[in-house]
Amino acid sequence: MATNVATIQTLKKDSKDEGDLKFDQVFDQNAPFSAQIEHLVRSDRHLSITRAGKAPGLNPGPDPEGLKILPEAAKKRLVEGGVDISKGYPQVPDRAKIPVFVDEAYAIRNEDYPYIERGANADPEKKSLFSAAKSVTNLTKHIGTEVTGLQLKDLTDKQKDELALLVEQRGVVFFRNQKLPPKVQRDLGDYWGQVEVHPQTAQVPGLPGITVIWMDYFRQKGLDINYKNNNFGNFDIVKFGSNGTQIWHTDLVHEHQPAGITHLHLDSIPDVGGDTIWASGYAAYDKLSEEFKKFLDGKKAVYVSAHSYLDRDDPLGGLKKVERIHPLVRTHPATGWKFLFVNRSMTKRIVGLTPVESDLILNYLFDVYEKNADVQVRWNWKSDPGYGTSAIWDNRSTQHKSVWDHEGIEARHGTRVTSLAEVPFFDPKSKSQREALGLPISQEN
């Protein structure tokens, strides 16, 4: 123990950075070691838990500097939507409320809570939604639908139910030319499930649960990314090897009740680029042979959090993730279809297999999602001037990744709301999408 404390003293005592602790003033050397570590992590700018990956540490509270670089279109939307940005933007989380130790992070929402599956209550023909729309266009066979002629802020509850079902069947649904106040976006999220309030990410001031998606902000605050090294969101660049884009992932898979419907609204969109790609887990599952499906059905896997924490009993033992076990093949509560629930970033291993077997199979399953263009859709967010674009996706049965080709030179700003869903389950009687839709199942492999 004494050695560990001495190590920290060595780490801190010569620092000239004003953001660092003055060790002797703040450490009670009689306090438990984990308490000293917690104090260090909460107080130090470089060890700051408000960082995400390589992002710079930020001061908690509304950021006046961020306000200076906020795109005009975003500012207009926020002010017109009644958001008070007079003290700054975005709202950087309070470090005192961010978990330091993995047991604290694991305890968040670690119990069943009520979830109403809105899509299950919807009219399967979606007459209310479709009759109000000008057009409903499937963008590819397996994933992605664009709806025009509707304003999301005007939807009735019946239309919200039908939209949930459409999202859950088609994976992702897009709406251009929207006027969407942030509060209305959160209300929509509240309707579809418990809105996740992210403890680590910047939020819209006064509206917890609305996460700010604004990589340009982090870049302008000092995050060292460019077109060669943009691997933000990748946990291990050597292992996953992806430059220039985010890695494929599904959000919040480590939760007891992981993400259901997620809604990203971009109000500031680059002239060219800044696209996002989604892939269908229903279609990925249907790519597998019938024999392999049988092998995978009922298997479970370990899923990890995006963020890392410390082990209270071994705080210098390295970073730890929250780990949670879920079915590898899930049944969707609204569509009843089976889908492949894996992603390269956050599926760690298949329960019951040797590490070699697990790696081999998981890497193949990741490839099925990532390498088959026919299960994917790529979306360009462009809207008419003065409007924003919404993408609403099923964050269970899909993966996604953003494409950072605009290099943060043109503004790309948006707000995201995620509604958490059911405890994941696998129903052995459930069917694949192709089976349920009566499409031919190839027996040739």
Q: Among residues 251 and 255, whose Cβ is nearest to Fe ion?
A: 251
Residue nearest to Fe ion (CB): 251
Q: How far apart are CA 173 and CA 265, in angstroms?
A: 12
CA-to-CA dists, residue 354 to 9, 144, 239, 358, angstroms: 42, 37, 19, 6
**CB nearer to Fe ion: pick between 161 and 251:** 251
User: For tokens 């703040």, what's the residue?
Assistant: 26
Beta carbon nearer to Fe ion, 53 or 336: 53
What's the min distance (Å) between Cβ of 61 and Fe ion? Answer: 25
Whole-number Å distance between alpha carbons of 242 and 228: 10
When the beta carbons of 12 and 401 are compared against Fe ion, the nearer one is 401
Minimum distance, C-beta of residue 185 to Fe ion, in the bound complex (Å): 16
Parallel, antiparallel or unpaired: strands 300-311 and 413-420 = unpaired
Rounded to the nearest whole angstrom, what is the least distance from the CB of residue 212 to Fe ion in the complex? 13
The distance of closest approach from Cβ of residue 198 to Fe ion in the complex, given in angstroms and rounded to an integer, is 11
Q: Is 156 helix (H, G, I), strand (E, B) or coil?
A: coil
For 401, phi and psi rounded to 5 degrees? -160, 145
For Fe ion, the closer of residues 150 and 277 by Cβ is 277
Q: Is 15 exposed, middle or buried (0-12, 13-18, 19+ CB in 10 A)?
A: middle
**Pick 216 or 251: Cβ nearer Fe ion:** 251
Of 18, 31, 54, nearest in space to 8 by CA = 31
Tokens (6 digits) for 57? 């540490």
Provide the binding-site residues for Fe ion, judged by CB under 5 A.
251
Rank residues 207 and 247 by Cβ distance to Fe ion and give the closer one.
247
Return the sign of the alpha-carbon dihedral for residues 310, 313, 315, 317: negative
Tell me which residue of 141, 138, 136, 137 sits closest to 376, measured CA to CA. Answer: 141
**Shortest Å distance, C-beta 253 to Fe ion:** 11
162 or 251, CB closer to Fe ion? 251
Q: Which are the contacts of 62, defined by CB distance < 8 A and separation ≥ 6?
A: 85, 87, 88, 89, 90, 91, 92, 205
Beta strands in 87-193 (DSSP E): 91-92, 135-138, 145-148, 172-178
- Cβ at position 355, least distance to Fe ion in Å: 27
- What is the Cα Rg of the chain in Å? 22
CB of residue 213 vs Fe ion: minimum separation in angstroms?
9
Residue closer to Fe ion, measured from CB, 51 or 153: 51
Least distance (Å) from Fe ion to the CB of residue 251? 5
C-alpha to C-alpha distance for 331 and 338, rounded to whole angstroms: 4
CB of 333 to Fe ion, least distance (A): 21
DSSP assignment letter at 160: H
Helix (H) or strand (E) holding 69: helix 64-69
Q: Where are the beta strands (DSSP E) in 250-313?
A: 259-268, 276-280, 300-311
- Torsion-angle region of 315 (φ positive above 0: left; ψ -120 to 50: alpha; else: beta): alpha
Tokens of 254: 């480590």
Minimum CB distance to Fe ion, residue 273 (Å): 18
Nearest approach in angstroms of CB 315 to Fe ion is 29
Tokens describing residue 395: 């964050």
Closer residue to Fe ion in complex, CB, 44/251: 251
Choose between 36 and 230: whose C-beta lies nearer to Fe ion: 230
